[in-house]
Amino acid sequence: MNCQPSQSLLGADDPIPVRIVNPAGTSSFLLIGDHAGNAVPAYLTPFGISDEEMVRHIAWDIGIAELGERLATALDATFISQRYSRLVIDCNRDPAAPDAMPEVSDGTTLPRNAGLEETDRATRIAAIHAPYHAAIAAELARRDAAGRETVVIALHSFTPTMRGVARPWQIGVLHGGANDSFARAVLAGLTARGDLVVGDNEPYAMDRIDYTIPQHAFGAGRRYVETEIRQDLLASHDQIAGWATLLEEVFTTAL
């Protein structure tokens, strides 16, 4: 059993779930980091896995917090990210989906997620998932009211090897219908460089599993893209800075 209090999951010393960088950014781009953080609420500590596991790909998208910050500066864009680990709740999943709070992730058993009651799940949704998506929706509504077009860019990273299989792509571009003209322009721009192994809906595809882009872009017909960068290519500040420069150029040209 993982009984959680009926009040908010987050205590006074826990960070708020949503981080907004450059809220006054003038760019058409809205940068999103669903898995940018790996914090765990104090109430759920210890989470039942090692510190080494908590810095692996299962807990967050390595490198994305810094990449989002750099891009926010370079593009004068707003970056909205989520501070808590995807193991606590995955903000790029429908909150009702079983894998929004997985019991196992890439072979690692998560004791704090075993046998969650509906009240447990509801508490995590209310404390983390709902405020994060409310912040995105509020920013989009503010821009819509001002007559500003917004292109939503979801930034993700992926592990170089999954279940023993190496992944050759350096960056993937995810798209899945709706208004995917911008995503296809980004894909074309990255491919045309000739110096990158680019995945077209690889290593993941924009499908029914994703939540953020379909929720905030599809229905409104917004242009969007979801990018996935291989995590061994985001291992240093210099590498991240290089990707920020590259993506600034590609995104601007695609726009």
And the tokens for 197?
């192994």
Is residue 100 in a domain? yes
Measured between alpha carbons, how far is 235 from 240 in angstroms, rounded to an integer?
7
| Cis amide prior to 46 (ω within 30 degrees) | yes
> DSSP letter string over 140-165?
HHHHHHTT---EEEEEEEE-SEETTE
Task: With cut-offs at 50, 70 and 90, classify the pLDDT of residue 164.
Answer: confident
Tell me, what's the pLDDT at 175? 96
Nearest to 53 by CA among 80, 86, 20: 86
Measured between alpha carbons, how far is 192 from 62 in angstroms, rounded to an integer?
26
**Residues 2 and 112: beta-carbon distance below 8 Å:** yes
Is residue 89 in a domain? yes
Is residue 13 in a domain? no
- Asked if the model's pLDDT at residue 89 lies above 50, the reply is yes
Overall average pLDDT of the 165-174 stretch: 96
Overall average pLDDT of the 200-211 stretch: 92
Nearest to 153 by CA among 251, 91, 224, 240: 224
**Residues 92 and 129: beta-carbon distance below 8 Å:** no
Task: With cut-offs at 50, 70 and 90, classify the pLDDT of residue 252.
Answer: very high
- Helices 237-254 & 181-193, crossing angle to 10 degrees? 120
Element (H, E) at 206: none
Nearest to 244 by CA among 80, 82, 66: 66
Is residue 12 in a domain? no
User: Residue 152 belongs to what domain range?
Assistant: 18-254
Greatest Cα pair distance in the chain: 54
- Asked if the model's pLDDT at residue 51 lies above 90, the reply is yes
And the tokens for 93?
């999943």
Measured between alpha carbons, how far is 35 from 57 in angstroms, rounded to an integer?
10
Is residue 8 in a domain? no
Domains identified in the chain, total number: 1
Is residue 5 in a domain? no
Is residue 9 in a domain? no
Is residue 137 in a domain? yes
* Local structure of residue 235 (DSSP, 8 states): S
Residues 16-44 pLDDT 10s: 999 999 999 999 999 999 999 999 999 99
**Residues 18 and 82: beta-carbon distance below 8 Å:** yes
Overall average pLDDT of the 105-116 stretch: 92
Which CATH number goes with the domain that contains 143? 3.40.630.40
Q: State how beta strands 165-166 and 161-162 pair.
A: antiparallel
Task: With cut-offs at 50, 70 and 90, classify the pLDDT of residue 178.
Answer: confident
Tell me, what's the pLDDT at 125? 97
- Asked if the model's pLDDT at residue 167 lies above 50, the reply is yes
- Asked if the model's pLDDT at residue 3 lies above 80, the reply is no
